[in-house]
Amino acid sequence: MKQIIKLKRRFVITEKVTKPHKMWFKSILNNLTHKTIDKEKYSDSIFFFNNNKCYFEYNQKYRYFWCDYDKVWSVFGTKYNMNYQQIQVFIKCLMEEHFKLRGLTTGSCIVHEMFWWKNISN
């Protein structure tokens, strides 16, 4: 949010340092629990849960970080007006910062892949 302050014929624009989309995403990350599920079926994946709902999957072999579209990805687009590339870069940077996961590729789950997530429980 910007404020304009008038000081003797000049204008100073100040911005709040906190960004709402970063605060929102960090609140999700701070409440995550992660675990490996069914090592035979998902041998390379770690799943991240918030309130017993699966939000993310990290594939260690391919270094791919999947986000649930409805719970995470679409919020950045609709609520925070971010495009696909902005969301991708933002999530990648925050995952590197928060979980020290370097060299990730990020993306949202496409519909047919999300159905099997619904069967995964904490």
* Amino acid found at 116: W
- Residue 13 in domain: no
Counting Cα atoms < 13 Å in the Cβ hemisphere of 46 gives 14
Radius of gyration, CA atoms only, the chain:
18
**Residues 6+ away with beta carbon under 8 Å from 50:** 28, 31, 32, 33
Query: In this structure, is residue 6 part of a structural domain?
Result: no
Q: Is residue 54 part of a domain?
A: yes
The confidence score (pLDDT) of residue 78 equals 93
Residue 48 falls inside a structural domain: yes
Structural domain span for residue 38: 18-117
The answer to whether 84 and 74 are in contact (CB under 8 A) is no
* Any domain includes 44: yes
- pLDDT 10s digit of each residue in the chain, 122 long? 444 444 444 444 444 436 888 888 888 888 888 877 877 888 888 888 888 888 888 888 888 888 888 889 999 999 999 998 899 888 888 888 877 777 777 776 544 344 455 555 54
pLDDT of residue 109: 56
According to DSSP, the residues that pair with 58 across neighbouring strands are 46, 65
1 in any annotated domain: no
- How many distinct structural domains can be found in the chain? 1
